[in-house]
């Protein structure tokens, strides 16, 4: 064989050897892939995300973290067709089934709603491990705390409570208890130690400032503390979503979600007791037991013919102070806080009406033993009445609705006037603005004392309340002294339409007191009136 022939033979043998080696590599690779030895293990226990809502733990799969850690295409940052990436689609389909165990703790199992999830993951070089385990209470708590970022980001918007006041207006308040639970803090059980915790104080100072807009509401998170965000950061919490807007529909939906209509139920029939069955009819409470005067005492203030038929420009202060004193005498040191939740005035229409009128305040009270509801009634108020605490008829109730409905007056015999935070819009005042041409409620408040008669004589627009007007009354004193309110403040928007408003900076109460002593007295007086109307 010549040299040329030997070269051809060598090249042929070499080609056959390379082909054999390639075939072996392919076979090995197929075998390797078939056995799954190339697959990257996804430890599901590591990607269990624990959250807590109202002291209930929930588990979810941190799919975003899996996508990130295993360098899979991210549909949240890139435009991909998930049908071409079944492994990615499967990762986002993963979930945990949590089953309580009789002996305590939970059995946690990984699942997916995709028919062939394991095969889809293999196409992306993944396999799941630690797909089933058991956690006890402490394990769950540790996983929750380990998953909290630092500082913990908490959305202020997430903790809105939506309710309605007695006029049907929406009221937004913060759910402090839920927010405290979300922080993950181990707060002391002792109440005084808890109140000394800076994070606790910061949370309890939070609230919402709501400004009506043309098509909804601007909601701003507010606080009674200047350094509230620093206090939260010191305790590992960063507050987010502190300002946003709601449409009216969104607020209505929020209210409906938090106050679902109860399912109608058939009333149960209560059989009448048979004579002689051993039951005794309880004796009615005496005046001391009931917390107020007896039936004759209800008529004590005046004869029906002298009773007020309207509260139009009537000074309500004596009646409110008498009720306040009766409430405080009843509860003493046990009373911790008080809120006027309902205020009404019934007027008798005809001779069949037992009383000429009834002035009512319904309280929601916080006492050392819990929350209580109290109805306070004064009967037959007259023009020159000077009611005392002993003239007030007090009745405790189990709920706010029950307290409002006590001794309901028939529509045939009485006319009901519901008072909005202290007063109501009277027909006689229709079209009258409480503000003068310069935007003042009390034009002489820098030099002349404001009295109760001026307060109760303020005309109340339909869209406002007396309590809101008194806020303007206080702040117009600061505005006239050049105080600069926040850019979003209602006072900035209102007073900016007048040329006299020239904001220069922050003006303190002491500065006003030094220059206008009477104005400082008026500020104190208006705050007292606001407290009387709001807390009673």
Rounded (10°) CA dihedral 516, 517, 521, 522? -20
What residue ranges do the domains of the chain occupy? 40-146, 152-258, 289-418, 427-535
Q: What 8-state DSSP symbol labels residue 62?
A: -
Phi, psi (degrees; rounded to nearest 5) at 83: -65, -25
What pLDDT shows up at residue 440? 94
Residue 517 has pLDDT above 90, yes or no: yes
Give the least confident one: 171-185, 292-306, 359-373.
292-306
Q: Concatenated DSSP letters for 11-37? A: HHHHHHHHHHHHHHHHHHHHHHHHHTT
Name the residue with higher pLDDT: 428 or 361.
Answer: 361
Q: What are the tens digits of pLDDT across the range 333-349?
A: 888 889 999 999 999 88
What pLDDT shows up at residue 262? 57
What pLDDT shows up at residue 442? 95
Give the least confident one: 155-164, 269-278, 365-374.
269-278
Residue 34 has pLDDT above 50, yes or no: no
Beta strands 106-112; 170-174: pairing state: unpaired
Residue 129 has pLDDT above 80, yes or no: yes
- The token duo for 272 is 């009448």
Burial 381-407 (b: 16+ CB within 10 A, else e): bbeebebebebbbbbebeebeebbeee
Reported as a pLDDT band with limits 50, 70 and 90, residue 36 is very low
- The token duo for 26 is 């392919």
Find out whether the peptide bond into 526 is cis, omega within 30 degrees of 0: no
Find the mean pLDDT for residues 2-25: 65
Q: What are the tens digits of pLDDT across the range 216-234?
A: 889 999 888 878 888 998 8
pTM for the full model? 0.48
What pLDDT shows up at residue 294? 41
> What gap in Å lies between CA 94 and CA 183, rounded to an integer?
27
> What gap in Å lies between CA 237 and CA 455, rounded to an integer?
43
Q: Please, are residues 423 and 434 in contact by the beta-carbon 8 Å criterion?
A: no
Q: Kindly give the interhelix angle for 317-331 and 517-535, rounded to the nearest 10 degrees.
A: 60
> What gap in Å lies between CA 480 and CA 504, rounded to an integer?
11
What pLDDT shows up at residue 202? 92
355-358: Cβ within 8 A, 24+ apart:
355/298, 355/299, 355/304, 355/307, 355/379, 355/380, 356/302, 356/303, 356/304, 356/305, 356/306, 356/307, 356/308, 356/309, 356/380, 356/381, 357/307, 357/308, 357/309, 357/381, 358/409, 358/414
* C-alpha 501 chain-centroid distance: 35
Q: What are the tens digits of pLDDT across the range 245-294?
A: 998 888 888 888 888 765 443 443 434 334 334 433 333 333 333 344 44
What pLDDT shows up at residue 283? 36
What pLDDT shows up at residue 364? 92
What pLDDT shows up at residue 303? 53
Find the mean pLDDT for residues 368-395: 88
Q: What 8-state DSSP symbol labels residue 297?
A: G
Residue 131 has pLDDT above 90, yes or no: yes
Reported as a pLDDT band with limits 50, 70 and 90, residue 6 is low
Burial 317-346 (b: 16+ CB within 10 A, else e): bbbbebbbebbeebbeeebeebebbbbbbb
- Quote the Cα angle for 396-401-405, to 5°: 75
What pLDDT shows up at residue 24? 55
CA distances from 385 to 11, 380, 415, 422, 443 (A): 124, 9, 21, 19, 30
Give the max Cα distance, the chain: 143
What pLDDT shows up at residue 53? 65
What pLDDT shows up at residue 340? 92
Residue 12 has pLDDT above 60, yes or no: yes
What pLDDT shows up at residue 31? 41
What pLDDT shows up at residue 4? 66
Q: Please, are residues 125 and 40 in contact by the beta-carbon 8 Å criterion?
A: yes
> What gap in Å lies between CA 409 and CA 458, rounded to an integer?
29
Reported as a pLDDT band with limits 50, 70 and 90, residue 57 is confident
Q: Please, are residues 57 and 50 in contact by the beta-carbon 8 Å criterion?
A: yes
Residue 61 has pLDDT above 70, yes or no: yes
Q: With CA atoms as reference, report the closest residue to 342 among 399, 260, 412, 284.
A: 399
What pLDDT shows up at residue 27? 47
Phi, psi (degrees; rounded to nearest 5) at 274: -75, 145
Q: What 8-state DSSP symbol labels residue 475?
A: H
């Amino acid at each position: 064989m010549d040299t040329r022939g030997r070269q051809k033979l060598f090249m042929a043998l070499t080609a056959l050897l390379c082909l054999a080696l390639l075939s072996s590599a392919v076979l090995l690779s197929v075998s390797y892939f078939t056995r799954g030895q190339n697959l990257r293990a996804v430890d599901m226990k590591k990607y269990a995300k624990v959250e807590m809502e109202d002291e209930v733990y929930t588990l979810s799969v941190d799919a975003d973290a899996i996508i990130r850690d295993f360098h899979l295409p991210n549909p949240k940052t890139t435009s991909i067709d998930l049908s071409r990436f079944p492994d990615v689609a499967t990762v986002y389909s993963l979930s945990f089934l949590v089953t309580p165990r009789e002996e305590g703790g939970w059995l946690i199992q990984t699942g997916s709603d995709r028919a062939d999830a394991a095969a889809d993951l293999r196409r992306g070089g993944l396999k799941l491990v630690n797909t089933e385990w058991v956690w006890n209470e402490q394990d769950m708590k540790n996983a929750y705390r380990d998953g909290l970022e630092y500082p913990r980001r908490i959305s202020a918007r997430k903790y809105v409570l939506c309710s309605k006041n007695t006029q049907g207006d929406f009221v937004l308040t913060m759910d402090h208890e839920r927010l405290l639970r979300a922080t993950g803090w181990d707060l002391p059980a002792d109440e005084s130690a808890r109140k000394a915790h800076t994070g606790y104080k910061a949370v309890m100072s939070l609230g919402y400032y709501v400004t009506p807009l043309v098509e909804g509401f601007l909601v701003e998170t507010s606080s009674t503390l200047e350094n509230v965000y620093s206090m939260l950061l010191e305790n590992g919490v960063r507050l987010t979503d502190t300002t946003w807007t709601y449409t009216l529909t969104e607020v209505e939906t929020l209210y409906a979600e938090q106050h679902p209509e109860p399912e109608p139920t058939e009333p149960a029939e209560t059989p009448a007791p048979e004579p002689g069955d051993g039951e005794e009819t309880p004796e009615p409470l005496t005046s001391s037991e009931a917390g107020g005067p007896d039936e004759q005492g209800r008529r004590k203030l005046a004869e029906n013919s002298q009773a007020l038929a309207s509260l139009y420009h009537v000074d309500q202060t004596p009646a409110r102070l008498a009720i306040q004193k009766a409430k405080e005498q009843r509860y003493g040191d046990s009373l911790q806080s008080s809120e006027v939740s309902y205020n009404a005035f019934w007027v008798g229409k005809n001779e069949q009406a037992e009383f000429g009128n009834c002035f009512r305040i319904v309280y929601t009270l916080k006492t050392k033993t819990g929350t209580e509801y109290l109805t306070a009634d004064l009967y037959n108020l007259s023009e020159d009445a000077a009611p005392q605490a002993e003239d007030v008829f007090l009745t405790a109730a189990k709920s706010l609705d029950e307290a409002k409905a006590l001794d309901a007056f028939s529509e045939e015999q009485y006319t009901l006037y519901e008072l909005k935070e202290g007063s109501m819009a009277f027909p006689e005042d229709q079209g009258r603005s409480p503000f003068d041409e310069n935007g003042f409620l009390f034009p002489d408040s820098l030099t002349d004392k404001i009295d109760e008669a001026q307060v109760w004589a303020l005309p109340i627009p339909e869209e406002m309340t007396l309590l809101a007007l008194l806020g303007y009354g206080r702040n117009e004193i600061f505005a006239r002294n050049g105080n600069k309110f926040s850019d979003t403040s209602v006072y900035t928007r209102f007073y900016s339409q007048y040329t006299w408003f020239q904001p220069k900076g922050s003006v303190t109460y002491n500065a006003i007191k030094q220059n206008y002593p009477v104005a400082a007295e008026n500020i104190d007086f208006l705050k007292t009136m606001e407290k009387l109307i709001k807390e009673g």
